Amino acid sequence: MPEVIYPLAGKKVYVAGHRGMVGSALVRRLAAEGCEVLLANRAQVDLTRQSEVEAWMEKNRPDVVFLAAAKVGGILANNTYPADFIYENLILEANVINSAHATGVEKLMFLGSSCIYPKYSEQPIVEESLLTGSLEPTNEWYAIAKIAGIKLCQAYRMQHGRDFISAMPTNLYGPGDNFDLKTSHVMPALIRKAHEAKYHKQTNITIWGTGNPRREFLHVDDCADACIFLMKTYSADVHVNVGSGDDLTILELAQLVSDVVGFKGDIVHDLSKPDGTPRKLMSAQKLRSLGWAPRIGLKAGITDAYESFLRYQAESQQKSYHVGS
Ligand code: GFB
């Protein structure tokens, strides 16, 4: 185990974005750290409003911030709402990071995304590939905002000596995911499609694009564990990739999800939908050499994500029953 340079025990830890998939996983994982976790919903502090963020941070004075709040979505949502993705992410990052500086936060972690790297980066993608080429057009708006987040942390470290670090997770999945087919990422979409096809005895499911792009996936509980590991052991301006180190094609993923869900039909393609980046496998070398490795294999992770989908579905049905009754 590497040296803990910043123990979390006894600290006031603010998780911005605790209702999201990553934020809620961080809250679950922080329960083992002996810290006080601070949370705030949108009615208490709207992170896109500078004065609200400043007032909330001034009043609550966290020692530590995990900046997991973000407007996120899959390839189609990114491509359809570029203004929302760049504006909301930029403004909330700037508000939280500047307020963290103003109120003397001891340590902050900014969470980004693997889409910060150039579209045709050499694979596996090392941290130093940042800003060496053009971005993937379907998500460059989100990517620019996430790059700005890394740069904000670096700038406050350079100018003010702040211990603000950045972690770049790969494509994440797990409990708390968004299962809306129009706005979700591929994993929850495939789980839902395979489940509904099995339930309705359909002969096929449709996947977007050619199925040839390769993607890397990490269970969100592994991601939360890696983030807490880095918070306690890492302090430098270079961001750190957080991934599994393995990838597979979207078609292979669709087959694996079908297998877990128990759907036995065919997989067909909607070629009107974009493929996006051909491949974005991040190098896991830096995080491994720091001493962290994932624990949840892809098949076990998908099984867990499917169970969370079934719970989500049961809850939604219960809610609509109550509304209707
Ligand atoms: O997960 P996804 O939406 O995002 O799509 P990206 C990954 C791949 O799966 C693309 C294909 O090639 C999609 O065309 N795919 C196949 C599907 N079927 C489906 C489906 O039913 N739904 C979805 N959503 N995809 C996002 C970025 O890129 O990744 C964000 O837009 C962010 O900025 C996120 O970085 C992690 O991996 O292409």
Low-confidence residues in the chain, pLDDT < 70: 321-325
Give me ligand 1 centre to Cα 204, in Å.
20
Residues 209, 254 contacting (CB under 8 angstroms): no
Give me ligand 1 centre to Cα 74, in Å.
5
- Residue 318: the pLDDT is 79
Q: Which residues contact 83 (CB under 8 A, 6 or more apart)?
A: 141
Spatial separation of the C-alpha atoms in residues 2 and 12, rounded to whole Å: 23
Closest CA to 109 of 19, 191, 14, 205: 14
- Residue 84 is inside which H or E element, if any? helix 82-102
Q: Does the annotation mark 142 as catalytic?
A: yes
Q: Which atom of ligand 1 is nearest to the CA of 207?
A: 18
Q: What are phi and psi of 122, to 5 degrees?
A: -65, 140
- Residue 322: the pLDDT is 59
Do the bridges between strand 64-67 and strand 36-38 make them parallel or antiparallel, or are there none, so unpaired? Answer: unpaired
Q: Which residues pair with 110 in a beta bridge?
A: 67, 166
Catalytic residue among 14, 142, 156, 306: 142
Which residues have any ligand 1 atom within 6 Å of their CB?
74-75, 78, 113, 115, 138-139, 142, 171, 184-186, 189, 207-209, 213, 215, 250, 273-277
Give the pTM. Answer: 0.97
